[in-house]
Homo-oligomer: A and B are copies of this chain.
Amino acid sequence: MNFRSDNEAPINATILKAIVDANKGFEESYGYDQYSEAFTEQCQQLFQSWCEVLPLTTGTAANSIAMTLATPPYGSILCHKHSHMNEDECGAPEFFTAGAKLIPMPGEHGKIDLNYLDQYLAGTGVHGEHESLPSVISITQCTEAGTLYTLKELNQLKNIKKKYNLFLHMDGARFANALVALDCSAAEMTWQTGVDLLSFGATKNGAMMAEALIVFNPNLINQIKRLRKRSGHLISKMRFISAQLQAYLDNDLWLELAHHANLMASIFKQQTINHIEFLHPVEANEVFCRLPLKLIEHLQELGFKFHLWPGHKDVIRLVFSHATQSNDVNQLINVINNYKNK
């Protein structure tokens, strides 16, 4: 009954089998293996576009290398104030970029307020060399609040990035959940709406440790492998990362897993909406809701695991994953609804 994080979920069986299957004899190291090559091709087919693909083991690495490609040290990164990059990576973007500045943007439900962003950017450029150079916008899809930028909003972002000559990065730690929810193509949600760099996450959705930085803009791949190497992220036995990623995409496994996670969240919301308050729209697999303190304690006593959300006393975050069982969800719903009915 663990709703704490999709990071605590196990490896999907098909993906684990791919690791085991890849363990056959000797194989070229450092990413020059057959699995890595094949995964790049898979990505190009999935996104219907040329792209550079850099397998990695963490989302922070993917985000940070993306930033290194997209901003000089004297540049700035425009991101939501509650974005993972700004609040949960202990300064990794600043470290990798040698000191680029993150400009925290406001916005409801984890999404950058696009009017604010536009106005902010319109006001830059007057201080000359005294101010950091706006260089890249970074959004998270799904956001840290479990919400989604619609295709319309993504197109607005595309216009802003063009207007101010910036790059656009998407932190896709839960990319599959977003794609399933928007029900569009991977191309539509990325390069067709101006995304230059994508942190493509698989770990939260069933992999052991497998992420990829995918670059759609050919001007942003200079020495990308050296950037990976010098940050210690070049895995020698890379085949075991790429094999996960291959299995993840094969037969739409990734979409199936994300669909399950989203469905669980959706069911939870539908069944409890009359009893509890939701802080954000439930659009993918994360739920933030306000519960009576006693109910929270009661749930904990019953063994339900979830995060008490920082900054609030009575708000919890529930994450539904590929491995969440309907039975657990039903139990959770019952406890909540019965408690409220008292």
B20→A8 contact, CB < 8 A: no
Q: Contacts A27-B8, A223-B133 known; A232 to B231 CB distance under 8 Å?
A: yes
B residues near A75, Cβ cutoff 8 Å = 91
Q: Contacts A58-B232, A74-B230 known; A131 to B23 CB distance under 8 Å?
A: no
Spell out A's residues near B (CB within 8 Å). 2, 4-5, 7-11, 16, 19-20, 23-30, 56-58, 60-61, 64, 72-76, 87-92, 94-102, 104, 123, 126-133, 203-204, 208-209, 223, 225-237, 240, 305, 310-311, 323
A91→B102 contact, CB < 8 A: no
Across the A-B interface, the 4 shortest Cβ-Cβ residue pairs: A61-B232, A94-B99, A98-B98, A2-B26
A132→B90 contact, CB < 8 A: yes
Secondary structure type dominating chain A contacts: loop
Copies in the complex: 4
A29→B16 contact, CB < 8 A: no
Across the interface, A226 reaches (CB within 8 A) one of B4, B5, B57, B90, namely B90
Across the interface, A101 reaches (CB within 8 A) one of B30, B98, B102, B235, namely B102
What are 20 sample pairs from A and B whose C-beta atoms fall under 8 A apart?
A: A7-B29, A7-B236, A10-B27, A16-B20, A25-B323, A58-B234, A73-B91, A73-B95, A74-B226, A75-B91, A90-B226, A91-B101, A91-B132, A92-B230, A104-B104, A123-B311, A129-B225, A209-B235, A209-B237, A232-B233
